[in-house]
Homo-oligomer: A and B are copies of this chain.
Amino acid sequence: MTTPSLIWANSGDSHVLEPQDLFFERMPRALAERMPRSVKDPDGRWETLHIDGNSWRRRLPTRPLTDETGLSQQDKAPGAWDPELRLKDLDGEGIWAELIFPSISMWTSSLTDPELLRTGVSVINDWALEFQQRSPRFVCTAHLPLLSVEDTVAEIRRTHEMGFRAAFFPVEPPPSLPKFNHDVWEPVWDVLEETGMVMAVHIGTEAHDAGVINGQYHRGPGGAVLNYFETSFGGQRITAQMITSGALERHPGLRVMVSEGGATWGPFLADRMDEGYRQHWSAVRPKLAKLPSEYLFTQVYASFQHDGSAVAAMSAMGWRNVCWGSDYPHIEGTFGHTQSTLRGLFANADPAVRERITVGAFAELFPHVPPVPVA
């Protein structure tokens, strides 16, 4: 028996956990106290969220979520917080470079003061840059002060100059602003295209009240899986908005990455947009130079973890921008079984398809990243 050689893969979807005291260490105390902060009750059953002078009480799960092997997120990824341990985790799994999303940002949609958000975001990004600099394999996403278009444009410029190559976008803007298909966002698309920064969308990031656990759309039998599926819709909506509004047509250099939402939705959305575009023609505004599908197939990328159909979304449906992602260190990801997942996914795939999904599509977005080791 020989040990099968490692399949190296870049990850289009990874996460870093910021230190809990980040804001208190790097902001004036009066401002830090207004940033999102969670305080758990001594018995661990409730937490209190403090955000800009408001508080929300949330009941915590009575036991940690575990996967089918009985492992929780805490068990799975010892290097979630530490860059050195992280690289050891990645080497063990065969994960090479990573597009890394912030964690703390899931709360910032509850901030309503643009100045506070701008200051907090710059602190997150300064810290993320330090993390990124620990390895050329880390591609951190810049967090953005989306309460102001002007601030967003400025932070994209600032972070690009600092060395960021991607900016994190939630699937929808703060509730006080128009959705991403509206023209108010045009300066943001301009600066993304000008700098070459990738628009890195992560699913499950709908704006929501801080007191509500995000993503609990369905209740009753099957609820856990129903909610899991529902989160993918937001990534599809923002993709459709960027295409049908003409934003991608006006910015042919702008590239969108949709992380964690799977990939097979891409050809489906492409066909469905084309059908609506042609059959509801008289109601379509703006008209586009090409069919909606053509923008999706060229300027949109997506990452999946386990989906067998995602390989066929490239090989049989022609979407070359399918990327694999580990979702490290989250429980929805592949930590602990990355190699068996990759072997299963590509057992019958053309080597060129495997190369494109594990390495090539990611490298096209981030050509500065060193190539994967020769296996």
- List residues of chain A with CB under 8 Å of any chain B CB: 63-68, 70, 178-179, 181-183, 218, 220-230, 232-233, 236-237, 240-241, 243-246, 262, 264-265, 267-286, 292, 304-310, 312, 315-317, 331-333
Contacts and interface: CB of A to CB of B under 8 A. Distances in A.
A195 B178 CA distance: 50
Contacts of A244: 221-226
Given A67-B281, A241-B226, A178 B268 contact: no
Given A224-B284, A229-B236, 5 more contacts: A67-B280, A179-B220, A222-B244, A271-B306, A271-B309
B228 A280 contact: yes
Contacts of A230: 237
A272 B228 contact: yes
Contacts of A275: 228, 305-307, 332
B221 A245 contact: yes
Contacts of A222: 181, 240-241, 243-246, 285-286
A31 to B, nearest CB: 35
A333 B280 CA distance: 11
A221 B281 contact: no
Contacts of A227: 276
Contact of A316 (B224, B225, B282, B312): B312
